[in-house]
Structures are given as C-alpha cells and as structure tokens.
Copies of this chain bind each other. A is one copy, B any other.
Amino acid sequence: MANEKMVKSITSMDEDFAKWYTDVVIKAELIDYASVKGCMIIRPYGYAIWENIQRLMDGMFKETGHENVYMPMFIPESLLQKEKDHVEGFAPEVAWVTHGGEEKLEERLCVRPTSETLFCDHFKNIVHSYRDLPKLYNQWCSVVRWEKTTRPFLRSREFLWQEGHTLHATSEEAKAETIQMLNVYARFAKECLAMPVVKGVKTAKERFAGAEDTYTIEALMHDGKALQSGTSHYFGDGFAKAFDITFTDKNNNLTHPFQTSWGTTTRLIGAIIMTHGDDNGLVLPPPVAPIQAVIVPIASHKEGVLETANAMFEDIKTVCRAKLDDSDQTPGWKFAEYEMKGVPLRIEVGPRDIADGNCVVVRRDNREKTVVPIKELAQRIPELLNAVHEGLYNKALERREEMTYDARSLDEMIEIAENKPGFIRAMWCGERECEDALKEKAGVTSRCIPFEQEELDGKCVCCGKPAKHMLYWGKAY
C-alpha cells in the first residue's frame, strides 16, 4: 500500500483534458476496454450509475403514460431502405450480418442503429383505428453505429440507450409529445444529473435523418465543448407514408398518423464526468450515485469505533445508498478511493468524535466539513445530499454562464472560437451557406436555436443580411 497515491493519481484537467477523462473512466472503474475496437465493457460501478439513470428516467416515462417494449436487434436491409433520408443517414455506419451459422443469409441484416423502421413495421400491424392511438412506446436496449473514432461513453460502436417511439392521430399531438419529452429530458438533466442544459431546435443541417424537426438539450462541458445530451424528433407523417401506416379517423376517413422519437444514451455518463469531475476524479450527483454516503472509520482498531460505525451504517442505510468501508486499507487510501469514485458524502468517525457524540461529514463537491451529532446523522443526510446536488448545479450553471460569449461579427466569432472555449451566441440569417461558412472559418457548428431567444443584433453574424434567429454555436463532442 506504499504507492497507493501513485496508483490512483490521474492527469490534471488543465494539463490534458482528454487524458484526464480517460484516466477517470478507468481509475474510477467505470469501464474496461473490450476486445472489439470501439466497444466498451461497463463495469459494476459504471453500470450501477446507468441503472440509476434507467430507473429514474423510466419513472418519468411511465408518469407520462409510456410503455416499454422490445424490438428485434436486426433490421432487414429492405426495411431500412424504406425511408429515403433515414437510410442515407444510417447505412454508411451500420454493422451488417451476412451469415447465420454456416449459411449465407438471403438478405443482409443490419444491427439496429436506431429502430424507427422496426417500430413502423409493427405500428402498421397493430394500428387500424383512431381508438388504437396514441401509441406511446419506449425501449431500453443497445444499438450499434460503426464509428471511426471512439471514446468511452461519448462515442462508441455499441452503446446503451432508450428510444421512445410514439404514434398520434394529429400533428398537433405529435408535436406536443416531442416538446413534452424534451422537457422531460431537461428536467431529468437538472433534477437527476445536476446539469444545466440549453433547450432548442436543431437547424436543418443538424437534423436526425428523416425528421422534420429535431429538438435537443445541449450541455457545456468543463473544457468548453458542447455535448448534445438528448434529442426529440418530430417526423410528421413521412415515415407513416413510407411504411404505409394508416388508420380510420373519427370521421371514417383513412389517414396517416404522425410520429415522434426521442433518445438518450450512456453518453449521459460522459456528461456527468465532464460536467462535475475534478482533478481528484469523478463527482457524482446524489440521485445517480451508486454509493451516496460512505462511512470511513478512523483508528478502527480502537475500542468502540467499528461498533459505532456499524450502528451508524445500519441507521443511515434506511435513508440513502450507504457503504461502510471497514477494510484494512488506511483512511488516507479510502479518502482518495471514494473521491476518485465521486461519492457525494464521506463520513469520518474516530475515537475522539465518538467521545463527543459526533462525526464529520465531508462533501465531495466542495470538501466542506460539517460536524454532525451521530444521533442526528440519518436525519441530516437528505439535506446534505440536497446541498451537494444544488452546489453541483449552481457551479455548473455559473461556469456555463461565464463561458458563454456573444459574437456580433465574423471576426469576433473567429476570435472567440480560437481563444475562449465555450458557447458562442450569435445571430443567423437561416441559410445553410452561412452555417457551413462558420464551420469552415471559425470551426464551430450550430448547437441549437434556443427556445429563449434574445435579439443580439439585427443581422447575421456571417453574411450581414437580416437575421432570423439567435443561435448557440460551439465545438462539440
């Protein structure tokens, strides 16, 4: 245990942010690399975070009337091709199954990159009348996209996600659903991940393949890069027409229904790491932390220490996900270990504390120490966890505000993009040409047209013609 500190030391953020990120995912034991390039093994601690995300988000889906289903993982090539824009968007990056056992398949199957086509095929079978609508479905599964460059959680060839797919009698209903689910994502980001997000709509260029509109929540990472953290798509009746889905409406007319889909992925774990993490490792928002409070006994060989620590553990495990570490590692090793793993509260208890009837609670987010009477500990923990959550959210929001810049000319935009990592707010005329030019000249992409608009200027930052919208621009993961 001599080199304990060395074993767990990580690159500092300022030195090399990408390396810091990789160090954290490995040292906090979130993942291991797999034998297939670009895929990852999600280890117990990482998977427990995902299970918490699933449980909390699934609760929100069920509150809003959604049901879970499971679709096959394979899509026949002919089915993928039914919607033109969709196949163009996905075909270049799918994995193809060509053989079953020793036999060559008559038709190639792709491993689902997303399941719109499968849901459409199913909807066609089960929807006939307005009485069958709406269908409000979701599935939790893994999908595959054969990416060239990959990074754990942020971009991997296989990833876990949820994909909602809904079908409605009217376009108004479908549009309302699209916005409702974007709001669910934004609420989840705030309440469960302590992560502030900008809500908005994507430009035509950045839309999902086959969608009429793509809405997004965009978060800002520590290094000033944007992370698209959840998207919600309105399809109109385009897929329904391509797949020939019809229903008899209340007036007995045969008509096409309207569709949405929306998704979030294990990328959210990457978002947590890069929003809250620090040079000591992971910092987890309490709602998704596998361990919310860890008790570290000090001088545990002394009489009464382990007994007290055990009693405290029995007491607090009723109010939070608690752990008592009574292993033979040193307290120093344990402090570093649980800091690396981002446990929101550390509770220290030693002979002197016990003599005073107290323990010391240390917050992971700001290292603030609070002396708490042992008998009040269980009662105080919820408020301390709330304090960590609010602290994390406010710190992230403050940082985002500090790192959001306004540009009123192309030169200003280039200057900010080169020197100041963060979001850039700027006006835009609505033309694809200007969007492309900004990418080329300033190296930024449009993140979204935010719902909360503000007129920074009357003219487009790029061409100077009358502006239509204020946009968030930035470099992105």
Contact = CB atoms under 8 A, between A and B. Distances in A.
A321 interface: no
A74 B92 CA distance: 19
Interface of A: 32, 34-36, 39-44, 47-48, 50-51, 67-76, 79, 91-102, 109, 111, 118, 121-122, 125-126, 137, 141-142, 144, 146, 157-158, 160
Given A67-B44, A97-B95, A102-B92, A72 B125 contact: no
15 contacts: A32-B125, A34-B71, A34-B72, A34-B121, A36-B74, A36-B109, A44-B69, A47-B69, A92-B102, A94-B100, A95-B100, A97-B111, A100-B146, A101-B146, A141-B142
B72 A41 contact: yes
Contact of A39 (B72, B98, B111): B72
A72 B40 CA distance: 6
B68 A48 contact: yes
A122 B32 contact: yes
Nearest to A51: B68
Task: Quickly give the copy total for this chain.
Answer: 2
Nearest to A33: B125
Nearest to A143: B73
B35 A47 contact: no
A238 to B, nearest CB: 20
B95 A99 contact: yes
A471 to B, nearest CB: 31
Given A41-B69, A73-B144, A92 B101 contact: yes
A303 to B, nearest CB: 27
A144 B109 CA distance: 13
Contacts of A160: 70
A94 B98 contact: no
A164 to B, nearest CB: 13
A180 to B, nearest CB: 19
A54 to B, nearest CB: 11
Contacts of A73: 39, 73, 111, 142, 144, 158
A157 B74 CA distance: 10
Contacts of A137: 44
Contacts of A50: 70
A36 B79 CA distance: 10
A402 B442 CA distance: 80
Given A69-B41, A125-B32, A98 B101 contact: no
